Amino acid sequence: MRFDEYRKHDAVGLAALVARGEVTADELLETALARAAEVNPRINAITRDMSDLARGAALADGPLAGVPYLLKDLGASYAGVPTTGGSRLTAEFTPAADSAMTRLYKAAGLNIFGKTNTPEFGIWPVTEPHLLGACRNPWDLNRSPGGSSGGAAAAVAAGIVPAAHASDGGGSIRIPAAACGLFGMKPSRGRVSFAPGGEGWAGASIQHAVTRSVRDSAVLLDATCAPQPGDPYFLAPPERPYAQEVGRDPGKLRIGFFDGALTEGMAVQPEVAAAVRDAARLCEELGHRVEAATLPGDHAAMQAAARTVLWASITSVVDGECERRGRPLEDGELEPITRSIHELGKRTSGPDYVKAVQTIHAWGRDCASLFETYDVFLLATLGRPAIPIGWLFEDPKEINARLFSYMPNTQAFNNSGQPAMTVPLAWSPDGLPIGIQFAAKVGDEGLLFRLAGQLERARPWFDRVAPL
C-alpha cells in the first residue's frame, strides 16, 4: 500500500479496508514500517522496534483488526519486551505478562510493532530523556512534541500510525496532542484500568491515546474501558458505545470559557488567548450558549499537593525497582532532576501524603461546582505553542516558571478526575498547532465526543499534514 493512500485513512478506515479484503494487515504494517524508516531518524519517536513480533502475527478479529499501533514505553506492558519508562534505572525491566491495556488492544485486533519515546517516568511535558534521546516535533524539528506522550504524538503527526497509546498524569495526552495538532482525550479517573498495577499518582494518571480523528479515540476507548478484577474503583459503563456518540448532535450546551492561565502568576500568549476566544465564537455559531467563567478552588494548593504526590510516587517507583533487583540506587541511574525528586520523596511523610490527597479531593469538589452551571468548560490547553528542544531545562532556576508558563491549564483536570480533551482548532502565525481544551463532568466522555465530532465537522483538521 502506498503511503499517500495509507495517510488518507484513520484507524477505523484502515480496519474497514482490511475487513473488506482490499488490503492485508501485513501490507499495512509494511507501509507503517516504511514510513517509520523514512521519518523516525529525524524525530526519534519510536525507540523500540517490535516488528519481529508484528510480522505475521495472529490478530484478533476486533474492531481495529490489522491496524498498526504503538505503545508508549511507560504504563502498558508487553510480555517479554522491556518497558524502560525512559530511565536508565529500569532500562532492562522486562515484564512477564501483558498489562490489561495491552491485552485489550490485542483483542481489538491492533498490530503492535513498537514502543514510543517518553521522558523519565513520564515526569515532564517534553520528551528529552537521557536514555532515549530527544524526540522532535514533526511540525518543526527544532521544537518539542510535548510530553510525556511525546513519542506517541510525534509518530501520529508524522503519519507513521493514525493513533497511538498514551497516558496523562498532568496533561501528558493533551499536551503533546496540542503541540502536534492532534486530538487528545483524557478520560475520567477510573475509566481505564492500570491492571495489574494500582492507580498512578493518587489517581491523577489515566491511559488512553492520541489520534488524528475523533472517532478513532472513541473506538479505542470503547475497546479499553473494561474494569478488571481488583481495580480499586471504576466508573459505570457508558450509556452507549462512544463510537456512536461522535456523530450525534450534542444539543445546545452551556459552555463557560476562560482565555487565561489557571496557574497563579502565569499568562497564556496572545495568539493562544485569541484562539480560545475564536473557539468560543465557533461554539456560539454552532448554537451553544457561551459565556466567560472561571474555575473555582485553590489552584496553588492543588499544585503543591500534586507535587507532594509526585515526589512520593517517583520515590516509590525508584525504591521498588531497587528492592526488586536487590541492590541500591547507583550513580547515573537517574537523571539529576529525578534524583532530586527522589530525595524530596524520601523526606515526604505518610501524613504529608495523606494531607496532599485530601487537598486534591477538596479541589475536585470545588471544580465540580462549576459544572452545576455549565456542561463544558473551554480554555487553552497550553500557554504557548510548541517550545524549542531544551528550552525547559536551560536554566535550572527557571524550570518551575517555564514549566507552568507552558502547561498552566492541564493539571487541574487530572486532579479533579474529570474528562478533558484537546482539539486542534487553531494555528499560530508561524504555522504551529494550538490546541483548545474542553472539560466536562466526571463520566461525561460521551458529551465530549459529541462536541468533538461537531467541532471536527465544522473545522476539519484531518488533512493537515506536518511538513516532513
Task: Tell me how far apart the alpha carbons of residues 361 and 346 are, in angstroms, rounded to a whole number.
Answer: 23
* Three-class SS state of 257: strand
**Residue 72 annotated in active site:** yes
**Which residue shows C-alpha cell 486534591?**
360
Query: Which residues make beta-bridge pairs with 159?
Result: none
Copy the grid coordinates of residue 53. Answer: 513480533
Question: Distance (Å, rounded) from C-alpha 98 to C-alpha 203?
Answer: 21
Active-site residue, from 72, 106, 186, 441? 72
Cα–Cα distance, 212 to 154 (Å, whole number): 11
Specify the DSSP element, H or E, that contains 182.
none
- Alpha helices (H) in 158-292, listed in sequence order: 174-180, 214-224, 242-245, 270-285
Under a CB-based contact definition with an 8 Å cutoff, are residues 409 and 264 in contact?
Answer: no
Active site residue 148: yes
Q: In what order do the strands lie in the sheet with 111-116?
A: 46-49, 111-116, 68-72
Cell 496553588 belongs to which residue?
300
Spot the catalytic one: 77, 99, 167, 172. Answer: 172
Residue 25 backbone phi and psi in degrees, to 5: -60, -40
**Active-site residue, from 87, 99, 144, 148:** 148
Number of H-type helices and E-type strands within the chain: 16, 11
Q: Yes or no: say if 207 and 166 are a contact pair by the CB < 8 Å rule.
A: yes
Report how far residue 158's alpha carbon sits from residue 116's, in angstroms, rounded to the nearest whole number: 13
Residue with cell 524550570: 399
Q: Report d(CA 267, CA 391) in Å as an integer.
A: 18
The residue ranges of DSSP E strands in 158-272, in sequence order, are 163-168, 183-186, 206-211, 254-258
Q: Could you list the active site residues?
A: 72, 148, 172
